[in-house]
Each structure stands twice: as C-alpha cells, then as structure tokens.
Structure 1
Amino acid sequence: MTISSRHILNTALLVFLGLIPFITDWMGDSFYTGLVARILILAIAALSLNLLIGYGGMVSFGHAAYIGVGAYCVGIGAFHAFEDGIDWMLNGYVQLSAALLGSALIALIIGAISLRTRGVYFIMITMAFSQMLYFSAVGVETYGADDGLTIYLRSDMLGLIDLNDEKSLYYLIFASLLVVLYLMHRLVESPFGNVIRGTRSNEARMRAIGFSPYKYRLTAFVIAGTIAGYAGFLMANLNDFVSPDMMHWTRSGDLIIMIVLGGMASLFGPLYGALAFLMLEELLSSIPLTIGGLHVGEYWQLIFGPLLILIVLFARNGIDSFLPQPRKSS
C-alpha cells in the first residue's frame, strides 16, 4: 500500500495539532491552546454536518441547535450543582449522556419531519426548528435567558480526566477529533455510506434497487446531531459559558462556510475549513489599521467575504482542491 502525499500532509497536520500545548508552552503564550481547542471542537461539529451536506446532500441550517443542546446539558447541570448542591448533576458522565441522548432525540424529531421535504423547504424547516430552540432558551430566565449562563464548575469525570487542567481538556478534544475522523471514514466507506451517497446522486435508482432513502437519511441525521451534541458538551467545558447564541441559525451558517471553505465530501475538508475560518477571523480582526476613524479589524467580515467568494470561484472544492489529489487506479 503506497502512502500518498495527501496522507502525509494530513498526518503532519494531526501531529502538529497534537503538539500545540507544548508549542504554546515553549512560546509562553497559552492563548493559542484555547484557540486551537475551539477550532477542533468546531471541526468536530463541521465533520458531523459534512455527513449531511457533503455526502447526503441535506443542507441543514439548524445544526447548531444540537451544539446548544449539548452545551446546555453541561450548563444546567453545573448550575444546579453550584446553586443547589446537587452533586450528581455535576457528574460528567451524566451530563455527557444527557447531551448525547438529548441531541439524538431532538435530531430524530427534527429529521423525521424535515426529511419529508426537499430543497428550500428542508432548509427552512431545519432553520425554523433551530430558531424555535433558540427562542426557547432566550425565554428561560432561570438559566440566564439571552445573557447566557456562566459555568462555575466544569464536568466532573470522576478522576479519570481533569477538565480543569487545560492540557487534559485539550487532549480530550484532540482525541475526540481523531475518533470522529475515524468514525466518519468508516461510516462513509461502509455500505451505509454508499447508500447515503447514492441517494444524493439518484434517489429514484436507490429506491428501485430496494433501499429506503428516508430511513438511511434519518439515521445519518441522528448520527450527525449526536456528534454535534458531543461538540457542545466539549465547548461548554472549554468556554465555561453557554448562551442561546450557540443555537442561532447563523452559527449553522458558520459551520456550512467551514465545510465549503475546506471542501465538501472530503474527510479532512471540515478540519482545514475550521482552521482557515477561525485563523482568518483571528488575524483579520486583529488588523490595527484605522481608516476614517473606523478600525478595519472590526469589519473583518468585509475582507473575509471576498476571500471566500474567490475560493469558491477558483477552487472547485475549497482548500481540498489545493491538496495533492489521490491517484486513480487504472
């Protein structure tokens, strides 16, 4: 089995990401450890959405809702543990189970309804459900409403992993990314993945040979939602804060931009897209230039927008187009 340049590049990226805490220690600046950890969490969420968009052709503008559900499971548990002394609600495994089951159940309900539609109707229904959850969170005063909820106590993993230690948390996030990458690879290359891709290409043909596209799509929808809920669990512990903004449809739009930027239907595309998106946001927003009393960095989207358009116009599949392409067997 020959190792392609693409595999070497992807492996080098993972090795580099694995060394980030040591590199930042050497630099004496731990800020970038937190930044990269956030990138990896968003990459996990983008990987799950890529299963729907890139491989299944299901453009969901409600995917951020599952991140919010997972995050609020941590936030609500920490709130009652801190305010009411209910220790078991701080148990990380209880919070994680609630995040996975809650996001899976909501994905099942949303998917069961929205997957009966197509095109713009599917997009609008997923967005509507996301906004419904968003406004529900805004209306709950007990948990901070639109001001959000500060997490004073991180999830207690019963001594197995200390999430209060930044390196331990980072490597939990990094290991989670590796697991999700492996899971997506096996899933996409499996018969299940072939049906999902085949349904995207020609649904009528898949029906003709005996498959039920609806059941396969719904299963993919639930898997993607569950993984996004896990990303929310990690994000809440990283940020020590949750808010309804995590569920807003614009956050789903950010995930879609990451996928388009990195390359749809590409295993590592969402990771490259998340890296590019967050690093460009950080760099462009830090531009010290001032024109006519306006700080250019505050309007970084005006610079990022044209860059994204150029990538879409000149790169057929985002950053993935610039990577060494795998050789096709003759």
Structure 2
Amino acid sequence: MRGKYAKLNIDKTYLITGAAGFIGFHLSKRLLDEGCTVIGLDNLNEYYDVNLKKARLEIIENYDSFKFICADLQDKEALEKVFIENKIDIVVNMAAQAGVRYSISNPDIYIQSNIVGFLNLLEICRHNNIEHLVYASSSSVYGMNINMPFSVHHNVDHPISLYAATKKSNELMAHTYSHLYELPTTGLRFFTVYGPWGRPDMALFLFTDAIINDRPIKVFNNGKMKRDFTYIDDIVEGVVSLLNKPPKPNKEWNMHMADPGTSSAPYRIYNIGNNRPVDLMEFIETIEEKIGKKAKKEFLPLQDGDVPMTYAEVDDLIKDVGFKPETNINIGIGKFVEWYKEYYQR
C-alpha cells in the first residue's frame, strides 16, 4: 500500500546523520532526487568497510544540494557548529553504533555513540527550534516479548542486548525532551532492513558473499527463525511519509492506562516492517535461486541477543500516513544480488 510518493517540503533543509550508512544513504538520495537540500553528517567509522561508505557518499556528493560534514555525534562542539553554520529545519538521526552481537563484546562503544551522541543531538535540537526530530529505533527493543505481531502499544521493558537497550533508551530520552521542551520527536522501529548497498554484517550480505565465494554459511537456531525482512525502498518511503508530519500531543492519552506508542507530549513511535515474517530457510533458498548456486550450510544454535522471530504490526503507519511496506523477498533479494555482482564485479 503506497502513500507514494509522500509530499516533501523542498523549502526545508534536512540534516541526516549517518548519511554514509545504509539507510542514511538511501534516504539522502531520495530527498535529493526530490529537490531537497540535505546536510549529511557521518563519522565514517570502521565498524565495517569504510570504502563501501565512501562509495555511497560519492553518489550523493554529486548533487549540488548536498553538503557533507565528517563529524561525530559525540563531539558536541562540532555538532553545534553544524547547526550554527546551516539553517536546519528537520533532523533525521540514522547515526548509531549498529549490531546486536557486537554490542555484547563492545558495550562501551554503544553507550558513547547511541546514548551520549543522541543526548547531544537532543540538546542541540531543542536549542535550535528544530521542527521535527525523526530517529531510528529498532525492532530489537521488543526483546523477550512473545505477543505477535509486535505493536508499538506493547510494553518493551525486557531487551536482551545492549544495542536494544540503547535504542529503548533513545525512545525514553526523546519522550523526555518532547514532554519538557515540546520538541516533536518520532521514533521508527525498523525491522531487518535489506537491499542494495546493504551492510556487510547483515545476513543477506553474509550469505550472498559466502555462497558466491564457496564458503559455508552459518545458519543459527538450526534454521528455525523467522524475520520480518523489510526492503530498503519501503523503509525510506516510510520515513519520508512521516518527515513533514511532526506528531501532536494525543489529547486522549490517559496516564492511568499509559499507551507506550503515543503521549500527551508531541511524541510518536512507529514500526516500519513488511508485516510478513519469512522463514530463514525460505530466505536462504531465495538467495540460492537468485545466485544460481546451493549454499553449504553450517547449522548452529541461537546466538546470545537474538530472538527466534520478529513480526511488525504496522496499523498505525497505515492509519496515519496511508503507507504499508509491500516488497517481497523475491524482488528485494534479486535486486541485492544484482547490486552485489555489479559492485564486486562477480
């Protein structure tokens, strides 16, 4: 179901943090294609191949209405300078230290990037009268929840990775600033994003790379997993549909029956997922079909921090902006494999 294409205000200036990242790059390109002015910020860290980030950046730096700033959200002085030198109207925070499993072995990085960095951004947004702060949360916040599909109106107090805990913290921090300073904030819980230019630490990239290079793939929980795989174009469309719709206080919000998804403050949370969990083995079979080669599989137990299933309820997204992600894995995986082969000349 398409709200296609959501109307963007091209008179606004958009700051996108994490602009060289997977989602930040695609979002920046979409806004630039629409004629918007985009300030892109990224620290180009080495969590994964910096050359891939630079290759994404090369594409969007060709637009006259794009300006790139290499800076880190943890550097408050550098961040303040960005806002002083540019009249920014809307902020989209896609910068974060990603990775569920990496957060178990490298916890300090997540606190600095996802908590300290986000606090700096909140502070600067409220002092610069930003019209709307949109930020990436994650389906990982649902943690030990077993009620399916996952709803933004469910309680999410039981994360099982530090990454998930930092994303839940972002939602709480944003609510505080919405309540205290009337800063409109919208948190977006993304569900297993995939597609061209995707991250090398994600399953689709790992599987494709291993199969093409004749290495075995690691299949966790013995393949008994389901994921709500969401194609990158659908993620971007969901974000764009909400950019120029800053939340308003929910006048019907009742503190005696507190709804986690809305508030008496200008604060909202949305799931952006495909609303159709796919078996991991079906996902792998589709990759094999698109590559034209069978995978060598190494079956392993469930990893720490992982959950067996994710499933997004997107009723609020449909109701508020008329959009529902709909790209199926047959199309999405096909586009990724085409990109991979072209980019790596395989």
State the TM-score, normalized to the length of structure 1. Answer: 0.29
Q: Determine which structure has the larger strand proportion and give its number.
A: 2
Larger-gyration structure (1/2): 1
Higher helix share: 1
Q: TM-score, normalised by structure 2?
A: 0.28
Bigger relative contact order, structure 1 or 2 (CA pairs below 8 A, ≥6 apart): 1
